[in-house]
Copies of this chain bind each other. A is one copy, B any other.
Amino acid sequence: MDYFDVVDSRYSHKEKFLSDAVPLDVLEKIAKAGLAAPTGMNSQCVKLVILQNREEVEALCQVVSTDGMLTAPAAIAVLTDTEAYKDSPYNFEMEDYSAAATQMLLAATALGYSSLWLDSPYFNEKEQKEARAVLGASDKYHLRVVLPIGLPDGVGSRREKLPFKARVSYGVMGK
């Protein structure tokens, strides 16, 4: 699928998914696109856990049950290694996982699937710890976002965007 068509087609799917399983090679292709994203100083601090079936997704729903995960037949959990930048004056974990998540959302779209950037359920320390336990991830890791993945059950809603000229300037802001 052409890159710009993918960009135009991507949206945040907050509605139901069909129960159809997502083939492992599809999930791996999405993961591979995420890992190809740039990372600060090539840290590659982003780690992924592929949840291949409803049972594995359900285990995460037991920690926090959010609409976006309730019917998802698969998901990819995105974690960062919090020690990756320990010897650096900078820490690019936020940028790194965001770039990876963005490339995975586009990859899912390119393959005909829908997804969603789901992070706020894991902001609280309690849910963060419990979700990490489900994923078998030590305290060294931070669960950043979970991307539910599946075929959409119907057409998902799109949020309205500001016009191009309201967000783009030429040379100096406001021009």
Q: Which residues of A contact B (CB under 8 A)?
A: 1-4, 6-8, 10, 12, 28-29, 31-33, 35-38, 42, 44, 46-52, 56, 79, 90, 94-95, 98-99, 101-103, 105-107, 110, 117, 119-120, 123, 135-138, 141, 159-162, 164, 167-175
Cβ-defined contact, B3 with A174, below 8 A: no
Contact of A46 among B50, B51, B135, B167 (CB under 8 A): B167
Residues of B within 8 A of A175 (CB): 136
- Write out the residue numbers on chain B whose beta carbons fall within 8 Å of the beta carbon of A8: 36
Compute how far the CA of A74 lies from the CA of B95 in the bound complex, rounded to whole angstroms.
23
| Number of copies of chain A assembled together | 2
- A119 neighbours in B (Cβ, 8 Å): 95
- Expressed in whole angstroms, the Cα–Cα distance for A71 and B164 within the complex equals 28
Task: Point out the residues of chain B lying under 8 angstroms from A38, CB to CB.
Answer: 10, 12, 102, 105, 117
Residue numbers in B under 8 Å from A136 (CB-CB): 169, 171-175
Measured in the bound complex, the distance between the Cα atoms of B167 and A28 in whole Å is 12
Partner of A35, one of B12, B47, B168: B168
Residues in B whose Cβ lies below 8 Å from that of A99: 98-99, 101-102
Kindly list chain B residues whose C-beta atoms are within 8 Å of the C-beta of A33.
3-4, 7
Please give me the residue from chain B that is nearest to A11 by CB atom: B38
Shortest distance from the beta carbon of A27 to any chain B beta carbon, whole Å: 9
Chain B residues in 8 Å Cβ range of A12: 38
With A and B bound together, what is the CA distance between A89 and B116 in angstroms?
A: 20
